Structure 1
């Protein structure tokens, strides 16, 4: 359609303007917005005025700009209609299909971790856990990941945070190996740990190397869906 490309470009520029703000920015000057978006000031001003018409941006008395109240309303609608299960469960099924191992999501509950979502491997020998099962935080890869990214300051926590994932073989149960990585929400707030589990004999170094990119990609997609920032700080 004529003009479609330019229309898409305008939308992308408007989105880049909104994404220029961080949780540390009460307001941004026109010049700073131009710098962060790599757009000229005239373009930024034109887009900002358009966004202000729908209350997505507000112009302050000093000519700086801040995010507008319409975004609060949209955020509230998103929160009220978002159902984690609709995102997590298909993702776990995909991870299990691609790796051949059971895929699980754990969240912290006090001094324990609880299994919130689970997709079993189709292989005859597998580690079985049930939704609602609680397990210790200080044994097993998902527990170690949760501890590391939820305030842990011991040497192992530092290693896990620097690496971004952890693998254990027989730490909690001699018959169970696990590979886990964190999932974030609302920026860098920890949401939980996404993990693959199975018998140690199938979690060789080569298998872990093959599964890791799949797991990290899944955790990144889930973090983005939860409003989190995946990857290193």
Structure 2
């Protein structure tokens, strides 16, 4: 695909336009989209017209644009995330029937926690995680479970890119690497009030054949009401069931 005068291809611009939509901005004007995607306004108008014709974007009566239904359709026909979600759903439902708060599934993606699925009960505690949304690794139990069971070079690369991770947890004496080792030793991660002050996050890794996390399954509970000795085995059983369902348990 031909490059623009700035050197980026139309495909790169196409991807930037799609990536401009996130959990905080599900729709926007074309001019806002142009700024967020860093694509010239005239080019943005042209690409939006083309993408709308193919239903990859849709236009609101207000003139704003949002991601189109066909994009969702294509993404859900076949993808690793869909396969993982489908395999995990029965086990997530079992966990949710026990905790009756929030149960969620996530993977590690581009130094962030990508939420694949979330189940919630009526009246459950506040939870900022959204399906297809992203959260910081070092502020979430799921992120720490994923990172703890990642290869050493992934951990070191993450810390090199995010030196603030150590200070976020404890500005004085926190040993991030030792904390990751502790998660590996006990098999789960737990954070109190890192995202929302009145909640506890608890998560375990879904381990692949080589002992590395292919996903994490976790719960968000009211702070002070959690019962870790009872909930951890439920999560671990669910994680093992998911691994078996996707063919990741050792033969």
TM-score range, shorter chain: 0.5 to 0.7
Q: Deviations over 1:140-173 (max 9, x none)?
A: 2111111111134711111111111111111232
**Alignment deviations for residues 205-232 of structure 1 (CA, whole Å, 9 cap, x no partner):** xx111111111110111112222248xx
Query: Over aligned residue pairs, what C-alpha RMSD do you find?
Result: 2.3
Take 1:124 and 1:143, find their aligned partners in 2: how far apart are those partners? Answer: 21
2:216 aligns with: 193
Are 1:220 and 2:240 an aligned pair? Answer: yes
Change in 2 beyond 3 A, CA 1:171/1:126: closer
* Aligned equivalents of 2:233, 2:123: Cα separation in 1: 21
Bigger-Rg structure (1/2): 1
User: C-alpha displacement at 1:185, in angstroms?
Assistant: 2.9
How is 1:24-43 mapped onto 2 (pairs within 5 angstroms)? none
Q: Is the 8 A contact 2:145 2:203 kept in 1?
A: yes
Pairing of 1:21-170 with structure 2 (within 5 A) = 83-151=83-151, 152=155, 154-170=177-193
Contact 2:100 2:124 in 1 (8 A): no
Which protein has greater RCO, CA pairs closer than 8 Å, 6+ apart?
Answer: 2
Give the TM-score, by structure 1 length.
Answer: 0.58
Q: 1:171 to 1:86 in 2, by over 3 A?
A: same
TM-score (norm 2): 0.54
Larger deviation: 89-98 or 134-143?
Answer: 89-98
* Structure 1 consecutive aligned stretches of length 4 or more whose deviation exceeds 3 Å: 122-126
Q: Distance in 1 between matches of 2:181 and 2:124?
A: 36
Distance (Å, rounded) in 1 between the aligned partners of 2:94 and 2:123: 15
**Aligned-partner SS, 2:138:** coil
Where in structure 2 are there 5+ consecutive unaligned residues?
1-78, 157-176
Report what 2:38 is aligned to.
Answer: none
**CA offset at residue 133 of structure 1?**
1.3
Structure 1 unaligned segments of length 5 or more: list them.
1-78
2:125 and 2:211 mapped to 1: Cα distance?
A: 36
